[in-house]
Amino acid sequence: MRRHIEILRKLDEGERYFPHVSGLPDYSRGNDERYPGINIYRVNIHRGYCLPWKGIYVPKTVSEAYVQHEYGHYLQYRKWGALYYSQVIIKSIWSVMRFNNDYQHMRIAVELEANTMAHDFFGEHSFLNNSAYPTYYNCML
């Protein structure tokens, strides 16, 4: 528990945290130390989502980049606080319903911010900053 509190303190101070984890962690229990502050669950769903008070839910067979992207939404929650709901969730859901494709959805401001925040958080261990998960650093609209 003390280590978990230390990780969150570092996150609050803007530090990157990515401990070396050998082997594949058990995502189903939400105990992956690479994602401090929130549980990760791999479940039978079509599209992932982040409920900051409960956890990040992703399809069972998604890439690590997908999980990092959803963690970016958790980082947005840490940044925006209660405004997360009006500034991120509503805009993200609207985008999914409007565009019906990931290319356009990933290029709206709240998705770019999630990718950029996750990319900065994971640093050299980031799987983002590419055409599938663009950041503010490489986005060409």
What's the residue count for the chain?
141
What pLDDT was estimated at residue 67? Answer: 93
What's the confidence (pLDDT) of residue 31? Answer: 56
Q: What's the pLDDT score for residue 20?
A: 38
pLDDT score, position 75: 92
Distance between CA atoms of residues 14 and 139, nearest Å: 24
Residues 78/83/84/85 CA torsion (nearest 10 deg)? 150
pLDDT for res 28: 39
Residues in the chain predicted with pLDDT less than 50, given as ranges, are 1-5, 15-29
| Burial degree of 124 (CB within 10 A; 0-12, 13-18, 19+) | exposed
pLDDT of residue 24: 39
Q: What's the confidence (pLDDT) of residue 11? A: 57
Q: What is the pLDDT, as a whole number, of residue 81?
A: 87
Q: What is the pTM of this model?
A: 0.75
Per DSSP, 43 falls in state E
> What is the per-residue pLDDT for 68?
94
Nearest to 117 by CA among 71, 62, 65, 63: 71
Strand partners, 58: 42
